[in-house]
Structure 1
Amino acid sequence: MTTANSVPVSITLTTTNNAQGWQQDKMLQISEDNIAIYLPQDAAYRLRKIQMAARKIEKLDIIHAALQGDAWDEASQWAFALGFSCVNKLENISFCGEPALIERLSNKLAVYAWSRDLTNQTPAELYPLKLAQLASDYIKNLAPKHVSTRLIQGEALKEQQWMGIYNVGKGSINEPCLLELDFNPTGDDNAQVTACLVGKGITFDSGGYSIKSNAGMFDMKCDMGGAAVVAGALALAMKQGLNQRVKLYLCCAENMISRDAYKLGDIITYKNGVTCEIANTDAEGRLVLADGLMAASETGAPMIIDAATLTGAAVSATGGDYTALFALDNDVAAKAQTSAKATGEAIWQLPLEPWHQDKCPSVFADTANSRTIKGGGAGGASNAAGFLSRFVDNGGAGWLHFDLAGAYNGAESGLWAAGATGLGIATIADLISNH
């Protein structure tokens, strides 16, 4: 069997147990230059098992997998792709089936590979302005005539009252920025913006003066995963034929310690008049997202989606196997559930009510950005969502908050290689295309 070079290895999927001897009844059955994934017709959690099998196959040092045979449908091929792809092998899969299916899966894999690679980059490579530039370039290249951008950076953020991004990023030598990208395929400058996407783009999170531990800081290059996911979602929707106007906002900063860094006890006054006392400089994601949500609300878009690697509480609640979903609008939450089911991505709705806005009280301001106890205290993910809800219009109608608990894995598992996963891209792409 070819395992040490780039010659594709044939991978088939079968419900028939053809192996003899020690391989009999095993999920992976190897014969010459072919690997068969054997799953009985009635196998429970079939797609999960295919993803796990793909992870095992990748660990055999196979460089390129070629899926073959009639048993592969779209969902099973995508499950294999998620399990097999990893750092340096993000696109090393050949799909099978009708040409349209192969093209659809290849386009999807290319977008996920771009988003995952972006998230995996080092903090030295990927600083705030570079993140904005790479996202702009990638999406512009898909539709040069229909994409325009505006970038607000450094002191201009303060001048234009984008105070969350400005304060979080002012301690770094690398300037913070707010990217606004407008995809407008209609040709009409006055066309309605049908949806806005807002992404947390913290390219490195030291925790600021509420400094993280070494272990807690090690993977914080991934803290711009929300920006990578929403940019990837727009790119995927465009590849799939999106014909409506959508705006993308990336809130980009480094959260660093210096003589200029924001401090505990500081009070930020936002553009909408909300005042916020800093109780934890490591609760910075919600501070930058607030600016993006206000900018998105100004468009009057009926749907606003934000995505962020926001809270450890969401990881604790979901085990990292689900994206945590928050909404005050049950109808739009139901649409998110429908899109997640259609795309095979796992999401779980956690509690959010208007009174969650009051869960981080301050004597000196309208709210604090967290509480001064570990992890922000009980219900930390819901409390963070409650904070964000202060910055969307119309009582949260049409707004969805994705806390990306499964966006990045510091170590490999039975399902995933180490690094970014891209989870959330397909769900959000489906939402902005079909809402």
Structure 2
Amino acid sequence: MNITIDEAHLTDTSIYVVYEGEESRFRLTESRKQRMTLTWFYGRSDQETDALVVGMGQRSKLTLEQVRRTGASAARALLKENKTGGALIRPSVRDGGSSSRISIQEELQAWVEGWMYGLYQFNKHRGVTANLQSLSLHLRLEDWEGLSRKDLEAVIRTAEIRIEGTQFTRDLVNESPETLNPEAFVAVVEDRFKKAPVQLHVYRGQELRDRQMNGLIAVGAGSKYDPAMIEISYNGAGSGKESPHIVLIGKGVTFDMGGMNVKIGRDISDARMDMGGAAAVVGAMDILVSHKAPVRVTALIAVADNLSGPDAMLPSSVVHYPNGLSVQVANTDGEGRLIIADALLHASNLGADKVIDIATLTGNVGAALGLEIAGIWGDPQITADMVEIGERNGERLWPMPLMDEYESELRSDYADLKNVGTSTLAGAITAALFIRHFVADSMEWVHIDMAGTVQYKREFPHSAAGATGYGARLLADYVEKQFLQA
């Protein structure tokens, strides 16, 4: 991550920021100043630097996500032109522009995050098509009025921590299933945090049976790789401060074949991404620990494969949980909620005050909300806080209802509950209702269904196709905000 200050002479491209209704050094129509509009001006000789003009729309309506996506788009545009770097040239308010509703520090961080986000490429399994090109970003101190060089360096470091956690999340989600199975996932997490100030414990084998984590045991039975519950505890708040205990729960199904209700289709390679929630939780923990955040947080990551096979869980099986509930497995492809149930019960045993579970749980949520926004259910205050955070950091959420009237969908003829509803409608809501049965009264809880937001199915100007890294910054920002307000 090569970002420099006042070394613009090292670059072969200048990146000029322009706003609607404001003067610029280029002859541009107002349409070329609209947000996320890129215009190239090529040098007329080898001695003349090329220029990329990036439209930002109206300065008074500028958002942080708009800045991030523009920065990402600019970086990707330079990559496609085989450039070595870009010098960002930003007009200030004193140049005659209107004021912005975001602070200059926030704007700078968004530029840096977006730039690095746009440069992301997953090259691990590529050979001759791998793109290992590097690209530097050069900042000018004079463009960031009121900030010292030390201020810029601090903002850059914060952005780097956040993008490293996000890109770790993306790498995990993009990974191939023969490389990232449940046992390999555990090993990757152990390696990532081996030098971190955390307590890490992995429950598997007899420990899963002793703690009656029967959802994980049932779901993972069809795989040759053992399921596991990873517990990562971090206390940066110290023992002298009364701090709420926040638990983050992630669904980590490293390949979801659907179990015996096997998925069919021409290409089901997206089944490797059914651990997006687990990856988001791991990425969030990476951000919090690297940032030395003064927080008390535990991650619970339920990891398994959901495959068919001679030992696999069968449709109509009954899973018994230690809270007394029994669950009829009406469909083995509704496995995520079975393992989240284990994690919620364990969170209660740990004395959790607030719990957030995040999962690629239902295709139904994508049908309702599309691919740019996830659904959230549960505690109104946590929901409101997370929606506000998501609007600022670009990982957006939409509040969804817990309809008590739909509980009838989960009734079983021979167990306490079914894991899926009988109707084809409101599947995301009935999934949330199922999960709610395993939330202790002492815990404040929300459930996030991020199935639609886990990946881009095609390339966009601001992102490569593949994993988005959704959730890592969202969870980290929420946890840190709670302790800043305490």
In 2, Cα distance between equivalents of 1:55 and 1:38? 14
Q: Write the deviation string for residues 237-280 of structure 1: whole angstroms up to 9, x where unpaired.
A: 22333222211111000001110000110010012111110111
In 2, Cα distance between equivalents of 1:284 and 1:157? 17
In the alignment, is the contact (CA less than 8 A) between 1:85 and 1:92 conserved in 2?
Answer: no
**Which residue of structure 2 aligns with residue 104 of structure 1?**
158
**Which residue of structure 1 aligns with residue 70 of structure 2?**
50
**Which residue of structure 1 aligns with residue 175 of structure 2?**
121
Q: 1:14 aligns with which of 3, 13, 18?
A: 18
SS, match of residue 417 in structure 1:
coil
Q: 1:330 aligns with which of 380, 383, 399?
A: 380
The 3 A distance-change label for structure 1 pair 156 and 81 is same
Amino acid at match of 2:182: P
Q: Write the deviation string for residues 19-72 of structure 1: whole angstroms up to 9, x where unpaired.
A: 459999363223334422133435867644626744861672547654523356
In 1, Cα distance between equivalents of 2:228 and 2:71? 38
Q: Map 1:298-337 to 2 at 5 A.
A: 298-327=349-378, 329-337=379-387
In 2, Cα distance between equivalents of 1:219 and 1:288? 20
**Which residue of structure 1 aligns with residue 402 of structure 2?**
352
Q: Structure 1 residue 249 and structure 2 residue 300: aligned?
A: yes
The 3 A distance-change label for structure 1 pair 322 and 288 is same
In the alignment, is the contact (CA less than 8 A) between 1:193 and 1:247 conserved in 2?
Answer: no
Q: Write the deviation string for residues 393-415 of structure 1: whole angstroms up to 9, x where unpaired.
A: 117x5211111121112322455
Q: 2:39 aligns with which of 18, 28, 31?
A: 28
**Which residue of structure 2 aligns with residue 183 of structure 1?**
234
**Which residue of structure 1 aligns with residue 113 of structure 2?**
78
Q: Map 1:29-428 to 2 at 5 A.
A: 29-31=40-42, 32-42=49-59, 47-48=65-66, 50=70, 53-54=73-74, 57=77, 60=80, 62=82, 66=86, 68-71=88-91, 73-88=108-123, 94=137, 96=139, 98-141=152-195, 143=196, 146-185=197-236, 188=239, 194-215=245-266, 217-327=268-378, 329-371=379-421, 377-394=424-441, 397-404=443-450, 405-428=452-475
Amino acid at match of 1:299: L
The 3 A distance-change label for structure 1 pair 40 and 430 is closer
The 3 A distance-change label for structure 1 pair 221 and 61 is farther
After the TM superposition, which of the residue ranges 333-342 and 199-208 deviates more from structure 2?
A: 333-342
Amino acid at match of 2:449: D
**Which residue of structure 1 aligns with residue 146 of structure 2?**
none
In 1, Cα distance between equivalents of 2:285 and 2:367? 29
In the alignment, is the contact (CA less than 8 A) between 1:170 and 1:262 conserved in 2?
Answer: yes
The 3 A distance-change label for structure 1 pair 92 and 381 is farther
Q: Structure 1 regions of 5+ residues with no counterpart?
A: 1-6
The 3 A distance-change label for structure 1 pair 287 and 24 is closer
In 2, Cα distance between equivalents of 1:331 and 1:302? 13
Amino acid at match of 1:69: I
In 1, Cα distance between equivalents of 2:72 and 2:385? 29
The 3 A distance-change label for structure 1 pair 67 and 275 is farther
Residue 289 (structure 1) shift: 0.8
In 2, Cα distance between equivalents of 1:140 and 1:247? 16
Amino acid at match of 1:409: Y
Amino acid at match of 2:113: W
In the alignment, is the contact (CA less than 8 A) between 1:205 and 1:217 conserved in 2?
Answer: no
In 1, Cα distance between equivalents of 2:87 and 2:449? 33
SS, match of residue 180 in structure 1:
strand
Q: How many pairs are equivalent?
A: 422
Q: Write the deviation string for residues 182-239 of structure 1: whole angstroms up to 9, x where unpaired.
A: 1133565998662001100000011111111234622111111101101111221223
Residue 85 (structure 1) shift: 2.9
Q: Between the two proteins, what is the percent identity of the paired residues?
A: 28
SS, match of residue 273 in structure 2:
helix
After the TM superposition, which of the residue ranges 73-82 and 113-122 deviates more from structure 2?
A: 73-82
Amino acid at match of 1:104: T
In the alignment, is the contact (CA less than 8 A) between 1:86 and 1:417 conserved in 2?
Answer: yes
In the alignment, is the contact (CA less than 8 A) between 1:276 and 1:367 conserved in 2?
Answer: yes
Q: Structure 2 regions of 5+ residues with no counterpart?
A: 1-10, 43-48, 92-106, 124-130, 142-151
In the alignment, is the contact (CA less than 8 A) between 2:14 and 2:50 conserved in 1?
Answer: yes
In the alignment, is the contact (CA less than 8 A) between 1:201 and 1:226 conserved in 2?
Answer: yes
The 3 A distance-change label for structure 1 pair 291 and 110 is same
SS, match of residue 406 in structure 1:
coil
The 3 A distance-change label for structure 1 pair 126 and 116 is same
SS, match of residue 305 in structure 1:
strand
In 1, Cα distance between equivalents of 2:300 and 2:138? 33
In 2, Cα distance between equivalents of 1:245 and 1:386? 28
In the alignment, is the contact (CA less than 8 A) between 1:95 and 1:102 conserved in 2?
Answer: no
Q: TM-score, normalised by structure 2?
A: 0.78
After the TM superposition, which of the residue ranges 164-173 and 229-238 deviates more from structure 2?
A: 229-238
Cα RMSD of the aligned pairs, angstroms, is 3.1
Amino acid at match of 2:464: A
The 3 A distance-change label for structure 1 pair 24 and 200 is closer
Residue 334 (structure 1) shift: 1.4
In the alignment, is the contact (CA less than 8 A) between 1:226 and 1:307 conserved in 2?
Answer: yes
In 2, Cα distance between equivalents of 1:227 and 1:87? 19
Residue 344 (structure 1) shift: 3.3
In 2, Cα distance between equivalents of 1:93 and 1:280? 50
Residue 366 (structure 1) shift: 1.0
**Which residue of structure 1 aligns with residue 98 of structure 2?**
none
The 3 A distance-change label for structure 1 pair 23 and 191 is closer
Larger Rg over CA atoms: 2
After the TM superposition, which of the residue ranges 397-406 and 9-18 deviates more from structure 2?
A: 9-18
In the alignment, is the contact (CA less than 8 A) between 1:8 and 1:66 conserved in 2?
Answer: yes
**Which residue of structure 1 aligns with residue 99 of structure 2?**
none
